[in-house]
Each structure stands twice: as C-alpha cells, then as structure tokens.
Amino acid sequence: MNSLPKFLHHHNDDIWLTENERENLQISYRIKEVVFAKDSQLQHVMILDSYDFGRMLVLDGVVQTTSIDGYIYNEMISHIPLNFHPNPRRVLIIGGGDCGAAREVTKYEQVETIDLVEIDELVVKACKEYLPEVSGNLSDPRVRFIYQDGVEFVKNLEAQYDVIIVDSSDPIGPAKQLFELSFYQNLHRALKPDGLMVCQSQSPIFHADIMRQTYQRVSQLFPITKLYTAIVPTYPGGLWSFTLGSKIHGYLNGHQPFDKDTRYVNEGILNQCFELPEFVKKIIQPAR
Ligand code: SAM
C-alpha cells in the first residue's frame, strides 16, 4: 500500500482522515481521493475528496471547510455583518484563505474594496485550484490578496475599514493570536468611527470557555456586542458561534429586503439569528 500524507491512515483498504485535536473525541472521514497535499512553511495543507462531505480543506489534520456545508459558515460570517452596517464600502477579511467569505462579500455591489489578509498563500492557491465549490472563481477585481500575518497587518491601522471579518482557523498555531484582546484592540482602531467586526468564536458545546472569553473581550471594546449561531455539520458538535462587535450600529438595516443569491441566509435567518438558546445565553452572561 502506498504511503499516505500525514494525518491520513489506512483501515482495511480504505483511506481515513481522523481529526484528533480533542483528547476524548475523534472524528473520522472516509476519503475517496487525496487531491492535494503539501507542507507550507506554516502548516500541512490538504484538499481531500471525502465520501460524505465532498471536497474538503484540511489544515494540520483539521477540517476547515467542505463543499457540502462550507456555504453555511461562509454566508453567516459575511451576510450578517454586511447587513448590520448600513453602507459597507471597505471590507477586511483576516484569514479566509478558502475564499468562501470573500466570495459572499463580492455579492454587495456597494462594497468598493475587499482586502483578504491570509498568512498562508498555499491555502489560497490550493482552494482556488482544487476547491472551486467553496472558493468560486474569485477573480473579482475588488479583492486584494495580502499574504501576511493578520496580527501584524492591523497593528498600525487607523479608521480604514467599515467591516472586518475574522475568518480564522481554531485558536491553535498561527490563529492563536487572533483571539487575543490586543488583536481586538487593533481591530477597533482599524475600523472607521461607525465600523463593526465579526469573528468566528468556536463551539458553544466544546469550546464554551473560548466563546465566553471572545464575547467578553469584544464587549470590553464595542458598545454593541452580539453573539449569533448556526449549525455547521463538519464542525465539532455542529452548533457554531460568531461574535459581532459594533461601534455605533445596533440593528440590522431593515430598510432594504434581503435579495442576495444565497443557500442558507434569508430574511428570516437575518432577523432571528441573534436569538440564542438558553444555555448559550448563560455562558456569555457576565459573572455575578
Ligand atoms: N471557515 C473555516 C473555519 O471557520 O475554520 C476556515 C477559515 S480559513 C481556512 C482559516 C484561515 O486562517 C487559514 O487559511 C489560515 O491559514 C488562516 N490564518 C491562521 N492564522 C492566521 C493569521 N495569524 N493571519 C492570517 N491568516 C491566518
């Protein structure tokens, strides 16, 4: 049997990817084909074709996004903030190397520039070539790819952006610093006086402490801080959270109907996504 890229193993005649980033839980995916596998200077990048989730991006053995459910996350991390800001023109995406979030942002004709700051160029190259279901043919001239650490990129910016989307991997490796208070403080300064940011804030089931900490850090800086959720089947526990921090705007700009071409977000989702299950409310409540 030929040797497999790391993180993959044979079981009988099949190839499996087993995610074992948690001590007591392993999730395995049966793989049809290894489409792409290469080490960048930062992480191991794979595009795999799986039986149940189609093609998927895997970084250091962790599933990031798939052709079957990536649109849920990418739509939720993009359309919510872009409908919270009344007139988003300059958008910054930090991370997002699969290009899925950027693809959603290009659906807003009023957006003039989309800066995508991705630390690993190999992720973008692999997704553009081998994961078009997520990356789409992202050739929109408004998208500017900047291959740099997002932490460094925002360090000296002031009042540049209307919306900042932090589409990071889990808080391990290069993404760890994207969950620090100092990073959020730099985001705050990089935003215009009426700007707003959103970040993925992990699972309320498996990472309640990280979700609470992210919500608390953002709410220290932004007068309007809201958490919202969505179900992303390939993320551990399914239920996933997003934290939005806004300097001024406090509501969805309901003045125009939602008319974008989407598969998950609609008017109803926009209006009810901030409704939270009781246990999630309790996790983010300030300690008495
Ligand atoms: N949508 C998926 C999710 O929520 O997990 C994945 C988003 S995307 C694949 C995450 C990207 O963040 C990766 O391409 C990774 O290389 C990038 N990334 C991690 N740390 C970063 C940093 N400090 N600056 C910029 N990009 C970073």
Structure tokens at 40: 């960048």
Q: Of 19, 46, 64, which one is at a domain's C-terminal end? A: 64
Nearest partner of 64 among 238, 179, 235, judged by Cα = 235
Q: Is residue 102 part of a domain?
A: yes
Looking at ligand 1, which residue's alpha carbon is closest to its atom 18?
95
Q: How many domains does the chain have?
A: 2
266 domain-assigned: yes
pLDDT for the residue 184: 97
Task: Of 200, 55, 213, give the one whose Cα is nearest residue 135.
Answer: 55
Residue 139 pLDDT greater than 90, yes or no: no
Residue nearest to atom 11 of ligand 1 (CA): 95
Predicted local confidence at residue 251, as pLDDT = 80
Give yes or no: residues 21 and 121 share one domain.
no
Is the pLDDT confidence value at 125 over 60?
Answer: yes
Residues 35 and 76 placed together within one structural domain of the fold? no
For the beta carbon of residue 262, count every other beta carbon within 10 angstroms. Answer: 18
Q: Are residues 18 and 143 in the same domain?
A: no
Ligand 1 and 118: CB distance under 6 A: yes
Please state the rounded mean pLDDT for residues 158-164. 98
Q: Which of 24, 45, 64 is the last residue of a domain?
A: 64
Tell how far the Cα of 51 is from the centroid of ligand 1, in angstroms.
Answer: 24
| Residue where a domain stops, chosen among 46, 64, 82 | 64
Comparing 275 with 250, the larger pLDDT belongs to 275
pLDDT, tens digit (0-9, with 9 covering 90-100), for 72-96: 999 999 999 999 999 999 999 999 9
Percent share of the chain, pLDDT over 70: 97
16 and 77 part of one domain: no
User: How confident is the model at residue 196, as a pLDDT?
Assistant: 98
Residue 25 is predicted with a pLDDT of 86
* For the CA of 101, the nearest atom of ligand 1: 1
Q: Of the residues 167, 170, 194, 209, which is catalytic?
A: 167
Tell me which residue range forms the domain holding 232: 70-287
Determine the pLDDT at residue 288: 67
Q: What CATH number does the domain containing 150 carry?
A: 3.40.50.150
Q: Tell me if 152 is assigned to some domain.
A: yes
Q: Is any atom of ligand 1 closer than 6 Å to the C-beta of 93?
A: no
Looking at the structure, tell me whether residues 53 and 134 fall in a common domain: no
Residue 251 lies in a domain: yes
**pLDDT recorded at residue 280:** 97
The band of 34, judged by pLDDT with boundaries at 50, 70 and 90, is very high
User: Do 30 and 83 share a domain, yes or no?
Assistant: no
Work out the mean pLDDT of the chain and round it to a whole number: 94
What CATH number does the domain containing 54 carry?
2.30.140.10
Task: Return the higher-pLDDT residue of 271 and 211.
Answer: 211
Q: Is residue 236 part of a domain?
A: yes
Residue 235: CB within 6 Å of ligand 1? no
Known catalytic membership, residue 167 = yes
Can you tell me the mean pLDDT for 61-81? 96
What is residue 1's predicted lDDT score, i.e. its pLDDT?
Answer: 56
- My answer on whether 18 and 105 are in the same domain is no
- Sequence-distant (6+) residues with CB within 8 A of 282 are none
pLDDT one-digit tens code per residue, 163-188: 999 999 888 888 899 999 999 999 99
Q: Is the CB of 117 under 6 A from ligand 1?
A: yes
Looking at the domain assignment, is residue 278 inside a domain?
yes
Residues 60 and 201 in one domain: no
My answer on whether 269 and 176 are in the same domain is yes
Highest mean pLDDT of the ranges 20-34, 79-93, 274-288: 79-93
Distance from the alpha carbon of residue 102 to the mean position of ligand 1, in angstroms: 13
Q: Is residue 3 part of a domain?
A: no
Atom in ligand 1 nearest the alpha carbon of residue 174: 20
User: What pTM value is reported for the model?
Assistant: 0.96
CB 131 within 8 A of CB 90: no
Residue 64 Cβ contacting ligand 1 at under 6 Å: yes
Please name the residue whose Cα sits nearest to atom 17 of ligand 1.
Answer: 95
Distance CA 260, CA 262 (A): 6
Question: Could you tell me if 149 and 269 lie in one domain?
Answer: yes
- Grade residue 37 by pLDDT with cuts at 50, 70 and 90: very high
Report DSSP letters for 92-158, one per residue: EEEE-TTSHHHHHHTT-TT--EEEEE-S-HHHHHHHHHH-HHHH-----TTEEEE-S-HHHHTTT--
* Per-residue CA distances from 173 to 31, 178, 213 (Å): 25, 10, 18
Residue 1 lies inside a defined structural domain of this protein: no
pLDDT at 12: 86
Task: Mark whether 134 and 260 lie in a shared domain.
Answer: yes
Please check whether residues 56 and 175 belong to one and the same domain.
no
